[in-house]
Each structure stands twice: as structure tokens, then as C-alpha cells.
Structure 1
Amino acid sequence: MSDTAVQFLSRPLTAQPGQPLRVAAYSRIAEAIRTKLLQPGSLLPTETELGVMMDVSRTVIREALMLLEEDGLTRARRGVGRFVADSLPRIGIEKIRPFDQLLGGSELDVQVKRTLAEFQPASEFVAPGIGVEPNEDCWLWESVLIRNGEAIGHLQENVPISAGREPDSGKKAGSGETADDGDWLAAAADPAGRTSLAPKTLLEILAERPGMSLGPGECQISLSTAGPSRAKLLALRPSDPVLVLTQYVRRAGKPFYLAKCLVAAKAGHLSVMQSS
């Protein structure tokens, strides 16, 4: 690894308000990869080495590296170490469906239990997927997908703040705004129940909005482990395997929506819709 890369990774690490430290570590390493300070195919420093450089714990680094692998920026070789991916993941153009529908189908009902809906700074991974700049505020919705009373998936969805604005509102959201500043998505997300909307995934709510023409999109599939925080939500062990479904949707030809869904093995058979 070059001296320039070491200096970049060793800069003081600070998290944005409301942002976990693992996300800040993820963003720092992701930026080094995207700017090729860490060359494609190169071996990454160990967890201990990265922890010393960035002055954070190995747990923070381990979770950041897990996110990097989930997002296709790195790959692991058992007994050797972690490597920068040979090529960065692209934003694609396949047809997709909301994950509750994908995991449910015609015979199984999947409930959406929303656990979070708020503005957060877009990470290095999220930003290009929804067409905003890194650290620009965006919507983050988190939900647990429940089937037959059992949690089978953890879903994170992101869209630009502008997604909740009417086209003729003339308002531009910024980091100082709150979820009550004329945003119809804020009403849909409100856990206090100010509206009659049943809990749904963000993608499903967007698709039902008049004039909201979505697509095309893509769903990328990879394998990972649950990790400490998400394992609790899914009643798993941190080391248990999960399927990672990363979903992109465009609107008017531009990146608009990005979701990541961790699916537990107990979800069973998964059907993936394909079109020619």
C-alpha cells in the first residue's frame, strides 16, 4: 500500500450526526477504493492495521469491511485476507419488485415492521445509487420483514429527500429541514399513525404514487453474514449466513432508489423474477 493511501486512511475519522462510526470507516475505505488510492485487486491491510491507522476498534473495522464486501467493493479469500475488488459494482437496469412481495408471493403474507424513517447523510455507496452527493441528506427507511410471526429479512431503503416533494412545490430540501417540512413521505413514514397508510416498503409506497413512473432497475445478489446489530433483529447469530439483495431503481433515466435487504436462511426458497 502506498504512503499516500496510508496518509489518507490515517486522517482523523469523524462520523456525521446520527451516523454509526462503522459507516464513517466504510466511507473512508470506499473513497480510497473509488479514487484508486487502493488499487483494484490489491490486498487490504488487516483489521488490526486498519484499526490503528483510523484509531478505531477492530469491531468497527470488521463491520465496515463486512459492508464493503456486501457492496461488492472488496472480496475475501479464506486464509489469505481481503482484497479490493477487480472491478467496482455498477448500477444496473433490470426489472425488480418490492422485497415484501418477492419474499411473500401469492400464498405467503409478509408484514413490514418499520423501525426507522429519517434523514441521514448519504454514504459513499448510497450516494451514486440515488443520484446525490456523498454526505448530502437523504431518506433512510429501515424495516424488518416478518412472515408467519418470524423475522426473515432486514431492509434498508434510500431515496433523495426530493422524492417526497411534489413536483410543483418549488421547495428544495436541505440538511436543516425536518421530516415535517411539507414532505408526503414523512406522513407515510410517521410511526405515530397520523395517516391511515398501512406499513409498506418505501418502494411500494413510491410505486403507488400518481405520476411516479419507476424503472428500469436491477437486483444484485451476494452472500454475507448477519453481523452483531442485524443478527439481533433477525434472531440470528452474528456469524449466521444471510443472502444480501441490493436493489437499484432509476426514475426518468437517473439513479433514484437504493435498497439492501438481508434475507435469513430460514426464509427458505427464494423466487427471482426474470424477464428477457
Structure 2
Amino acid sequence: MTVPLGQPRRVAVYSRLAAGIRAQVFPLGSLLPKESDLGTRLGVSRTVVREALMLLEEDGLIHTRRGVGRFVAPELPRAGLERLRPFEEVLASQGQTVGVENLQATIQHATDFVAGGLELDPDANTWFWETRLTRDGEPVALVQEHIPAGRDLRDISPLLAERLRDPQDPGRTLFAVMTDVLGPVFGPGECAMTAGVAGATRGRLLSLAPSAPLLILTQTAQHGGRAAYLAKYIVRAGERLSINQPPQS
């Protein structure tokens, strides 16, 4: 399997499987092959396949029946849109500061889910920012944010496209940078919540065992009447959240 430059192998496997689901290679409602069989077909390890399947389940493309296996969802999900604020503000509580550690800021080929959520062509590229949020030095959440890149971003905001040409915003999430440039003018939208487990990669970043439970929030938002932002907020179990996002004027 060829992996696009800069894209993790688990994301490349996710994209291949998601494309297979949408093309009916794996029909809606059907039982998926075993992890080992998928790994053999794609030339990757079971660990990579397992993490890709976790992402597919979080995005509503598959579901697990304990003792039976993983099945393709009976219908394909759609991404919604709602108002939001930077996630570090959502996690912050009175008297406590949430730290933001930037892990990467790159342009990547959009996965099937990201392209659909941002209403982009399947071959489009997107900005991908990953940050780790900490409290008292301990990791509490990962923030994985996507926005259009190139011409698609310039169509939304030439100012934002120019700002991101040389991203120099340590200690900020992407959405915090966006509100600096564009102001609080995002919405409407929707935030979907699912439960999951850390897996090897996210477990390492959050100092958790691979089997540790997580809360995953998938958030998208519009700007100027078009989809402009899609993010996953991956939160350690037990964190208190202010889920009701206030309207922005």
C-alpha cells in the first residue's frame, strides 16, 4: 500500500477502508474481514489496522458487535455544524489554566471523512494541526483540527491563508488562531460525542494504556455559509466539560 507523504499509516489504512465502504466494496451492513486478513491485504501490521478501525468506528462508518465482529454501518453518516469556541476554553475551569502544546501543523491529503465534513473534493488537501492540552503538566486531551488548504482556504479567507503560510503560533490551537484572524463568526453547527479507547498512538501521547477509555467529540463549523472547520477532541475519561457552546456574535 502506498502511503501519501506526511500521512500516518493508520490514516492511510483508514482512507482505503473508508473509500471501500463508500464504493460498496464493503456493502452497508456487511461483516468486515478480520484484522489479520485486512493487514495481509494491505501489507500493514494488525496494530495499524486496529487503530484505523477505531477511527472508522468513531466516525460512524462501522460498529462492533461483541463476540461477532465489526460491521459496516447500515447507512453512511453525515457531518453536522454548530457554534464553538477554542477547546482549551471548554476544558478550562475557574482558577485553572490549560496548557497547549503544539505537536504538528502540516498540509495533508484529506481523508474521506475530512473531505466530506469540509465539503471538499476527494483529492483536496487540508491543514492538519494536532495539539496536546495539559493541566498541571498532565495531558488531558488531544485536539486534531482540519481546515481547507490552498485555493479552498483563500476562498474562505485570504487573511487566514496568508497567516498560515508560515504558522508561528506556539501554545495555540488552530481554532484560537482562526478567531484571532476572522473574529467569533462561526456557526451554526453540531458536536457529536462517542466513546472509544486510546489505542497505541494516542495512548502514548496521553500517557494512557491502549485500552484506556476516552471521550471523542467530533466538531465542525461554518464560516460565511460554508464548511470551514472540522476537529476531533479526544479527552481522557473523567474530565469535566462545558459542552454547551455559547452563541457567537
Same fold (TM over 0.5): yes
Query: Is this contact kept in 1: 2:107–2:127, CA < 8 A?
Result: yes
Corresponding residue for residue 44 of structure 2: 56
Q: Find out whether 1:184 has 2:163 as its counterpart.
A: yes
Counterparts of 1:217 and 1:85, CA distance in 2: 23
**Length, aligned pairs only:** 245
User: Which one of the candidate residues 265, 268, 274 is aligned to 2:237?
Assistant: 265
What is the CA deviation profile of residues 94-123 of structure 1, one whole-angstrom value per residue up to 9, with x for unaligned ones?
332221111114443211111101111111
What is the CA deviation profile of residues 119-157 of structure 1, one whole-angstrom value per residue up to 9, with x for unaligned ones?
111111111222322342211101000112211001110
User: Which one of the candidate residues 207, 231, 243 is aligned to 1:235?
Assistant: 207
Relative CO higher for 1 or 2, CA cutoff 8 Å, sep ≥ 6? 2
Counterparts of 2:157 and 2:188, CA distance in 1: 24
Query: Is this contact kept in 2: 1:164–1:185, CA < 8 A?
Result: no
Counterparts of 2:109 and 2:185, CA distance in 1: 25
Amino acid at match of 1:147: R
SS in 1 for 2:112: coil
The range that moved more, 142-151 or 125-134, is 125-134
Corresponding residue for residue 145 of structure 1: 133
User: Which one of the candidate residues 84, 94, 97 is aligned to 1:96?
Assistant: 84
User: Which one of the candidate residues 28, 47, 54 is aligned to 1:40?
Assistant: 28
Instruction: Map residues 76-95 of structure 1 onto 2, 5 A cutoff.
Output: 76-95=64-83
Task: State the Cα distance separating 1:253 from its structure 2 match.
Answer: 2.3
Amino acid at match of 2:108: Q
Could you tell me the percent identity over the aligned residues? 44
RMSD: 2.4
Query: Is this contact kept in 2: 1:152–1:266, CA < 8 A?
Result: no
What is the CA deviation profile of residues 152-171 of structure 1, one whole-angstrom value per residue up to 9, with x for unaligned ones?
0011101011476497869x
Query: Is this contact kept in 2: 1:164–1:184, CA < 8 A?
Result: no
Query: Is this contact kept in 1: 2:142–2:206, CA < 8 A?
Result: yes
Structure 2 gaps of 5+ residues are none
Corresponding residue for residue 215 of structure 1: 187
Task: State the Cα distance separating 1:262 from its structure 2 match.
Answer: 0.9
Counterparts of 1:198 and 1:54, CA distance in 2: 37
Counterparts of 2:149 and 2:35, CA distance in 1: 35
Task: State the Cα distance separating 1:275 from its structure 2 match.
Answer: 7.5
Query: Is this contact kept in 2: 1:14–1:21, CA < 8 A?
Result: no
- TM-score (norm. length: structure 1): 0.81
Structure 1 gaps of 5+ residues are 1-12, 171-181, 191-196
